[in-house]
Amino acid sequence: MSGSNSSNPGSGGSARRAEAATAEPLSFAVHSLPAPTLPSAAVRHGRLKMLLVLLVCAAPVIASYFTYYIIRPQGRTNHGALVQPQRPLPTAAELPLSDLEGAGVAPSSLKGQWLLVAVAGGACDALCERQLYLQRQLRESLGKHKDRLDRVWLIDDGAAPRPELMPALQGATVLRAPAQALDRWLAAGDGQGLAAHFYLVDPLGNYMMRFPAPSEPDRIKRDLEKLMRAAASWDEPGR
């Protein structure tokens, strides 16, 4: 009969789909992440050149301090006491300075020169007068290096300097500073008080050596000359 020879359309479609699924299994595509990009040769070369320039600029400063502090630690015969660690110039808030007219002076303005510092009251007793005289003589004794050293007198009270002292202070920097602030920075630490010493500050603003005063001028001079020679490659006169 005609009915027995006809096929079922639904069952045929299902069979074909099953065959297709069996023949072509489902696959997934996996994409790898992009490889990190390394700096180009030109970039690496530029960075290396920049580091070399920085090293060249810093080398003289490093070398002078290395020579003075490291290479000759045992053989050194310095008269002054090295301050370790060095003490940088305080900020204006920590060390308020003013000139004799009362105008404020920023401590940072003192950088750029070696500073030989004396501390005393404005009345300036006999020890103070000897210090100021010795301070002037030491600077003059440095000859061609003298323009790299400034004389500084820090007055730690409100007394006015006597008029007869002023001619000897020509070329010196005279400033007022609170005694307690000076003591925190310079810290003589030997029970003699701040007026009993000279204090040496390098051109970078670091308090780095203390001399007993009054002292032996020739021994102080030798220390100053050694420091000037060690720093000659990077330190120039004037700020």
More confident residue, 55 or 101: 101
Nearest to 133 by CA among 114, 120, 143: 120
As a whole-number percent, the residues of the chain with pLDDT over 90 amount to: 49
Question: Dihedral (C-alpha) 167, 171, 177, 181: value to the nearest 10 degrees?
Answer: -130
Please tell me the distance from the alpha carbon of residue 173 to that of residue 84, in angstroms, as a whole number: 26
- Residue whose tokens read 């490889």: 35
Single pTM value for the model: 0.68
- Measured CA to CA, the distance from residue 31 to residue 170 in angstroms comes to 81
48, 122, 150, 228 from 170: Cα distances, Å? 50, 16, 11, 23
88 three-class SS: strand
| Token reading at 37 | 């990009």
Does pLDDT of 5 surpass 60? no
First to last CA, the chain: 121
pLDDT in tens, 157-216: 999 999 999 888 999 999 999 999 999 999 876 677 899 899 999 999 999 999 986 668
Give the chain's mean pLDDT: 80
Q: What is the pLDDT of residue 3?
A: 46
